[in-house]
Chains A and B, each alone.
Chain A
């Protein structure tokens, strides 16, 4: 493993592992809430943060974090108060964020479209020392929230109305989910890129669902898939000289396809086991009972 001799590859691999853990860990709640594309929206908004970072010559990671957190909170507010035009407001937020980023980065003295591309699609060589520190801190926050509050986030994402009656602070938890998703986007930004980060939040979860019946198993398998594809994708990217983000996302989709094919016989066996578990008096075929029961009466 000669690639570990290079400091930039050590940093890239560490960042890749953290992305592999955090992206599915947040993504599972987004998928559960049926907001699978929220990560994509935040990625667009984060562009403005990157542009601001260049313009003000501050760290693009922290600027992107600040702007995408703001964007995520705004998206959550639109969801509360938005009525019929909510989706239009979101569209304006996404594309405004994207256009703002492109504009700002071109205004910045140090910025160029080449810089922009590394943020959009990820790049191994650009993960700097200070980036690694920021990514570690942000990832720690994401893990703390997604694991520590898993029961609360599960309840809110599963059934918001019911969660309200258990006394959970539903709005605060929704906001926290949005903020955590925004933080994850910036964690993933360096390695996978802003335009592809959403894939890593959603596809490992979808792949894990092919094997699992429970939320906890889905969580564990999705994170395992996430780490496997980010690490193998980063290594492939190094040896083959291909972009890491694209490699990782294609590997994730390959994992999804492979698991779907593999899981088909498993699903059939489960269906058979479930059929065998039915009480013997419940045949699969229709047979007419000898006597009529109360429930057979038709109410007019």
Chain B
């Protein structure tokens, strides 16, 4: 095993149109780490992730994946990606199995599916609790179920690195629990995770390090930030939606 970081960004800059979105980002993710990329809307966190996967061209700096410059990186089966849910809506119906199968292409030769590939699809669906919906159209799913399907699609190639863009956005409580549990299993088995989050939320216990962006610059890189503003006020109940049903929320406030 080499000691290369899994992801390394050095002084990365990127523009959308003429507007600079990243102004020199440094970001390193080591093997087995769970790093959250935080920041307000427009801070550049989604763009940062999309430069890593090559969807947004960089105008300066260097990106490496598993120690290889990104442009030369070909070993995509080691990377699982969960985009924002809105990008994944096609104009033709598709079943859950068909969507998840497309994540397995990186492990096949010329797209020919063998038995092991079909089994992997089934396993991935079981991981996210969607095996009973395998033949359903994704259009019939709720937002949270759809998100679980996209996570299964990323896991089906058994990646070492998971990159997720706002996996909790618009996800119902039941799916948030499944998601947090699935992610914990992955982390426990050694998967490295980089995820964009709007707020730490129910994934907070999993996160080793938080990188906060503002206006395309790194504002903070270290332990997850303490709650500030409204969240730190007395009377704020810290709710863990993935706690077993029926348990009382953690009450830290004086008012409740």
Q: Which residues of A contact B (CB under 8 A)?
A: 28, 31-34, 36, 83, 149-152, 154-155, 157-159, 161-168, 205, 209, 212-216, 218, 274, 291, 293-295, 297, 299-300
* In the complex, B153 has a CB within 8 A of chain A: yes
Contact with A along B60-79 (1 / 0, CB 8 A): 00000000000000111101
**Interface range on chain B (Cβ under 8 Å from partner):** 35 or more
**B149 CB, nearest partner CB in chain A, Å:** 11
From A34, A165, A214, A294, give the contact of B93 (CB < 8 A): A214
Minimum CB distance partner of B133 in chain A: A277
Which B residues lie within 8 Å of A163 (CB)? 102
From A158, A161, A209, give the contact of B99 (CB < 8 A): A158
From A31, A166, A215, give the contact of B98 (CB < 8 A): A215
Q: How far is the CA of A28 from the CA of B90 in the complex (A)?
A: 11
From B136, B137, B157, B233, give the contact of A166 (CB < 8 A): B157
Q: How far is the CA of A216 from the CA of B95 in the complex (A)?
A: 9
Contact with A along B126-146 (1 / 0, CB 8 A): 000000000111001000000
In the complex the two chains form, is A166's CB within 8 Å of B246's CB?
no
Q: How far is the CA of A151 from the CA of B110 in the complex (A)?
A: 9
Which A residues lie within 8 Å of B94 (CB)? 154, 158, 214-215
Which A residues lie within 8 Å of B91 (CB)? 31-34, 36
Q: How far is the CA of A167 from the CA of B111 in the complex (A)?
A: 12
Known contacts A151-B111, A274-B140, A294 near B102 by CB under 8 Å:
no
Minimum CB distance partner of A216 in chain B: B98
* In the complex, B40 has a CB within 8 A of chain A: no
Nearest 10 Cβ contacts at the A-B interface: A167-B76, A155-B102, A165-B81, A213-B137, A151-B111, A166-B106, A32-B92, A214-B95, A159-B88, A32-B90
Q: How far is the CA of A274 from the CA of B140 in the complex (A)?
A: 9
* In the complex, B101 has a CB within 8 A of chain A: yes
Q: How far is the CA of A167 from the CA of B159 in the complex (A)?
A: 13
In the complex the two chains form, is B102's CB within 8 Å of A293's CB?
no
Minimum CB distance partner of B176 in chain A: A295
* In the complex, B173 has a CB within 8 A of chain A: yes
Minimum CB distance partner of B97 in chain A: A214
Contacts A/B (CB < 8 Å), 19 sampled:
A32-B90, A32-B91, A36-B91, A151-B108, A152-B105, A159-B83, A162-B88, A162-B103, A213-B95, A213-B135, A214-B94, A214-B95, A216-B98, A218-B92, A294-B243, A294-B248, A295-B173, A300-B233, A300-B236
In the complex the two chains form, is B246's CB within 8 Å of A291's CB?
yes
In the complex the two chains form, is A149's CB within 8 Å of B236's CB?
no
Which A residues lie within 8 Å of B246 (CB)? 291, 293-294
Known contacts A28-B92, A31-B92, A293-B246, A164 near B54 by CB under 8 Å:
yes
Minimum CB distance partner of B54 in chain A: A164
Q: How far is the CA of A237 from the CA of B41 in the complex (A)?
A: 59
* In the complex, B53 has a CB within 8 A of chain A: yes
Minimum CB distance partner of B82 in chain A: A162
* In the complex, B189 has a CB within 8 A of chain A: no
Known contacts A158-B90, A214-B137, A294 near B157 by CB under 8 Å:
no
In the complex the two chains form, is B249's CB within 8 Å of A151's CB?
no
* In the complex, B198 has a CB within 8 A of chain A: no
Which B residues lie within 8 Å of A158 (CB)? 88, 90, 94, 99, 102
Chain B contacts with A in 4-54, Cβ cutoff 8 A:
17, 50, 53-54
Minimum CB distance partner of B83 in chain A: A161
In the complex the two chains form, is B245's CB within 8 Å of A294's CB?
yes
Q: How far is the CA of A28 from the CA of B54 in the complex (A)?
A: 27
* In the complex, B237 has a CB within 8 A of chain A: yes
Known contacts A151-B111, A152-B111, A167 near B74 by CB under 8 Å:
yes
In the complex the two chains form, is A297's CB within 8 Å of B103's CB?
no
